[in-house]
Amino acid sequence: MRPIVIEANTPVNAFLQSDDAIYGAGLDAFTSIGSLGTYAPKESLFWEGDLAEFQYRVVRGTVCLYKLLPDGRRQVARFCHVGDLIGLSARTNYQYTADALTDVTVQRIRRAELDAHMEDDPTLRRGVLASISEELNAAQNQLLLLGRKSASERVASFLVTMTEQAMRQGGDGHSVFLPMTRVDIADYLGLTHETVCRVFSQLKAQGIVRFSDPHDVEISDATALAVLADGDMDTRLCA
Amino acid sequence: MRPIVIEANTPVNAFLQSDDAIYGAGLDAFTSIGSLGTYAPKESLFWEGDLAEFQYRVVRGTVCLYKLLPDGRRQVARFCHVGDLIGLSARTNYQYTADALTDVTVQRIRRAELDAHMEDDPTLRRGVLASISEELNAAQNQLLLLGRKSASERVASFLVTMTEQAMRQGGDGHSVFLPMTRVDIADYLGLTHETVCRVFSQLKAQGIVRFSDPHDVEISDATALAVLADGDMDTRLCA
DNA sequence: CGACGATTTGATGTGTTTCAACGAAGGTGG
DNA sequence: CCACCTTCGTTGAAACACATCAAATCGTCG
């Protein structure tokens, strides 16, 4: 049973990113009318069921969105990185909890304000629609992962996705930082943290990845990883 | 290995619904500018990877959206019922395949046309945004199901969802028609068809459901089903 | 009537979970 | 500054839920 406690005094994973790495076409409204907020690791931006007053855009750090079952089982729906929007929904209440994994900076904007701006700004509208539709896309890929992939395939897919993410933020595609814990990864992949560990160890033994420490992966064989992830070769990650 | 074949001559599950059961606020554009299309069971509306020329709205019948892995493993992302929109995405290509499960009627609208209408019609915009955001919501609930629920919980959740769906279409909440096969259900729930069968049999043995035939469930104990689905009592289905 | 697909049930196998133990790192308090 | 404690990560052994393999039944259609 995972305790539902907010603790502010935890090890801070240095995961700084330059502001110029922010992307997201047509989402300037967040910059111009949003207010900045900062959160320490393990702080919650909001809880599932809360009135959805704000919508967010990540400026720095990583946020984890998840749902809980009554008995404490947890499913992470998404890790949000720089540029991602959080809290878009037609519902009046948040449908998941959002926790900061690292030191996080967000632009916060009131729903009503965003809605008003969207009425006037076709570019913003398209940006928001594109963002939510990409989110849906990612969720559907995750359905395939959770419903049909083996443990190794899930972990490999996760590493491929994290690598792509890192490259969008200017990474070289070889060294990737994982801001989340093994438990977070497990709850994202529908596994236990022990299984995630074991697969990481297998991948190390096969010479596909190397860990300088638990949060720093080096991708030694991106092709092998991509094949493992999909049973398929057509990927943008081939060495 | 599931053969990728379109067959038009298959048993037709009578799943007629009156047109007045159609819902969806602000989506009249589909009615006014869309053209009607009909599909026989097992016919495909489109394939994953196809150029996404049209967007669809279901008028009659049930459509099944799914993704395949290279080795044939399948994950059903969604069953689309009357009123649901299909093919909304910022991508230029479809991200999944869409098959008719029953005789299906859809309103078909060209992407460019829908986009143009959305520029002019705030109500349509809100309707589309609400639809896609509900779709995202459903997908996130399915992530929790696939990542963290047991076989019995998955099947119970499925029956609860199907019952709610039937009630939105005017059903009484006791008798529910399941247009899909056991394999479809299994591929939706991340199980095998044998496991789905066994859980159905357990539920029958526990007096929670009754089957007059494999496609017609009678929900005898909606409360028990809801508890099984979530380990929780707060549901709209309680007898 | 015979063939085929869908459903159901049984027997067996296995991938992942569960339970357990240990080590490393970091923060806290004496 | 050091002992203590907690969290996180890792690995091993055992248990289990579900998958796999197999076979029988049923309904439908040609």
For the stretch A89-133, pLDDT in tens is 989 999 999 999 999 999 999 999 999 999 999 999 999 999 999
Task: Label residue A201 by pLDDT band (50, 70, 90).
Answer: very high
CA of A183 to C1' of D8 (A): 9
Question: Does position A48 have pLDDT exceeding 90, yes or no?
Answer: yes
Question: Does position B239 have pLDDT exceeding 50, yes or no?
Answer: no
Note the pTM of the prediction, 2 decimals: 0.90
Question: Does position A18 have pLDDT exceeding 90, yes or no?
Answer: no
Mean pLDDT of A214-218: 97
Compute the mean pLDDT over every residue in chain A, rounded to the nearest whole number. 87
Q: If you measure CA to CA, which chain A residue comes closest to B185?
A: A147
**Whose CA is closest to A65, among A79, A51, A48, A82?**
A79
Protein residue closest to C17, using CA and C1':
A192
Nearest-CA distance A205 → chain B (Å): 26
Q: If you measure CA to CA, which chain B residue comes closest to A233?
A: B70
Q: How far apart are the C-alpha atoms of B179 and B60, rounded to whole Å? A: 12
Mean pLDDT of B183-197: 98
Residue B24's pLDDT is what? 60
The two three-digit tokens of residue A2, written as one number: 């995972």
Amino acid at A22: I
Looking at the DSSP bridge assignments, the partners of residue A99 are A44, A64
Q: How far apart are the C-alpha atoms of B233 and A186, rounded to whole Å? A: 28
Protein residue closest to C26, using CA and C1':
A11
HSE, side-chain direction, 13 A CA sphere, residue A211 = 14
**Whose CA is closest to A113, among A128, A101, A130, A134?**
A128
Task: Label residue A32 by pLDDT band (50, 70, 90).
Answer: confident
Per residue in B18-58, pLDDT tens? 333 345 667 777 777 789 999 999 999 999 999 999 999 99
Q: How far apart are the C-alpha atoms of A31 and A149, rounded to whole Å? A: 39
Q: Phi first, then psi: what are they for B177, rounded to 5°?
A: -95, 130
Residue A15's pLDDT is what? 31
Compute the mean pLDDT over every residue in chain B, rounded to the nearest whole number. 88
Q: How far apart are the C-alpha atoms of B171 and B237, rounded to whole Å? A: 13
Q: How far apart are the C-alpha atoms of A77 and A141, rounded to whole Å? A: 12
Question: Does position B215 have pLDDT exceeding 90, yes or no?
Answer: yes
Mean pLDDT of A1-9: 31
Mean pLDDT of A123-146: 96
Nearest-CA distance A51 → chain B (Å): 16
Question: Does position B12 have pLDDT exceeding 90, yes or no?
Answer: no
C-beta neighbour count of B34 within 10 angstroms: 22
CA of B195 to C1' of D15 (A): 20
Residues 6+ away with beta carbon under 8 Å from B184:
B64, B76, B79, B101
Q: For strand D, which residues in window 183-222 of chain A come within 7 Å by CB?
A: 183, 193-194, 197-198, 200-201, 211, 214-215
Using an 8 Å Cβ cutoff, are A215 and A177 in contact?
yes
Residue A137's pLDDT is what? 97
* Least confident interval from A11-20, A100-109, B128-137: A11-20
Alpha carbon B175 to its chain's center: 18
CA of A147 to C1' of C14 (A): 18
Element (H, E) at A55: strand A54-60
Q: Where are the beta strands (DSSP E) in A102-199?
A: 104-110, 175-177
Q: How far apart are the C-alpha atoms of A99 and A109, rounded to whole Å? A: 18
Of B202 and A14, which is predicted with more confidence?
Answer: B202
Q: Where are the beta strands (DSSP E) in B178-231?
A: 209-213, 216-219
Strand order in the sheet with A104-110: A35-39, A104-110, A54-60, A85-86
DSSP code for A11: P
Would you call A134 and B90 a contact, using CB atoms and an 8 Å cutoff? yes
CA of A169 to C1' of C16 (A): 34
Task: Label residue A233 by pLDDT band (50, 70, 90).
Answer: low
Q: How far apart are the C-alpha atoms of A147 and B69, rounded to whole Å? A: 11
Nearest-CA distance B171 → chain A (Å): 25
* Least confident interval from A180-184, B5-9, B172-176, B194-198: B5-9
Residue A231's pLDDT is what? 72
- Nearest nucleotide to B149, CA against C1' atoms: D17
Using an 8 Å Cβ cutoff, are B61 and B100 in contact?
yes
Distances in whole angstroms, Cα of residue A140 to Cα of each of A108, B75, B98, B169: 27, 9, 14, 26
Distances in whole angstroms, Cα of residue B17 to Cα of each of A180, B59, B131, B209: 48, 9, 21, 24
Would you call B95 and A134 a contact, using CB atoms and an 8 Å cutoff? no
With tokens 């700084």, the residue in question is A16
Q: How far apart are the C-alpha atoms of A37 and A44, rounded to whole Å? A: 12
Dump the DSSP string for A214-237. Answer: TTEEEES-HHHHHHHHHS----TT
Residue B33's pLDDT is what? 79
HSE, side-chain direction, 13 A CA sphere, residue B133 = 19
Q: How far apart are the C-alpha atoms of A119 and A125, rounded to whole Å? A: 8
Farthest CA pair distance, chain B: 56
With tokens 């095998």, the residue in question is B192
Residue A3's pLDDT is what? 30
Residue A24's pLDDT is what? 60
Task: Label residue B167 by pLDDT band (50, 70, 90).
Answer: very high
DSSP code for B220: S
Residue A25's pLDDT is what? 63
